Amino acid sequence: MTYKNVRFVEVPNDRFGMNNAVLYNCGAIQYQAVVSSAIAAGAGAPDPELTAVADKVDDVWSVGQKDVVHYIQLAAGTDMTQFAVNDIVTIHTLRTSAFGVTNGVDPLSGKTIQRRVVLIDADNLRLSFDRPVMMNYTTLLTTATYAYVTKGLHIGFVLVLGSRGGIMGNVAQPLKFYEPKPIDDYESVWRFVYDIHAGWNIWEPNLFECHFVPVSLPKPGGIISPVDPVS
């Protein structure tokens, strides 16, 4: 996409709808809860024999595994009204104040992961996610604390390149166009395919800047998550 002679290249989402250019929940904290029971690898997603993905997540398969706990347990006193279905939350063991947020998420920790909330059991203080938690959180951090669940502002990464030709489209092999025969009985539906080897190249990066900014992201259902950064 180009706007006023500036080319924008967007990082695509992964198959779970999350973007590699976003530091989820690494900004100002909206709510942080304590996980009071150990999480074993494979736990945390709804029971596949009771909850179909078609009802809760964006796929046609069942989630979860057998013989595991199908939720994570939060500590007594957790305000469950702070969580909503389709929130993307971060599960982590390390907290840091190094990036301007007191006791915030440490995005550099290998045990920092994101999951989307699909079920909330407010009475029993439990959350279930769109897919299982695929690592163990079984070591006590403090008394009755195995991990933290944080909901906060998402931080987007923006790389700005400035020069006479900051980003150039490189074509390594000319486009080869194919136009097969019509595919329907009336010979009215045509299709086409092509081969090309191309890509974006950084060219003359005389100036570049890295910016980290709070962003509002849409959730399934058209809801903005978590809050407007300017409020």
Q: What is the pLDDT of residues 8-59, one digit of tens each?
A: 777 778 878 888 889 999 999 999 999 999 999 999 998 877 766 545 555 5
Mean pLDDT of 89-93: 98
pLDDT of residue 124 exceeding 60: yes
Is residue 42 left, alpha or beta, with left meaning phi > 0 and alpha meaning psi from -120 to 50?
Answer: left
Distance of CA 180 to the CA centre of its chain: 39
Split at pLDDT 50, 70, 90, the class of 74 is very high
Contact 41, 134 (CB under 8 A): yes
pTM to 2 decimal places: 0.74
pLDDT of residue 190 exceeding 90: no
- Asked if the peptide bond before residue 12 counts as cis, ω within 30 degrees of 0, the response is no
Mean pLDDT of 99-125: 95
> What is residue 225's predicted lDDT score, i.e. its pLDDT?
66
Is residue 96 left, alpha or beta, with left meaning phi > 0 and alpha meaning psi from -120 to 50?
Answer: beta
Split at pLDDT 50, 70, 90, the class of 208 is confident
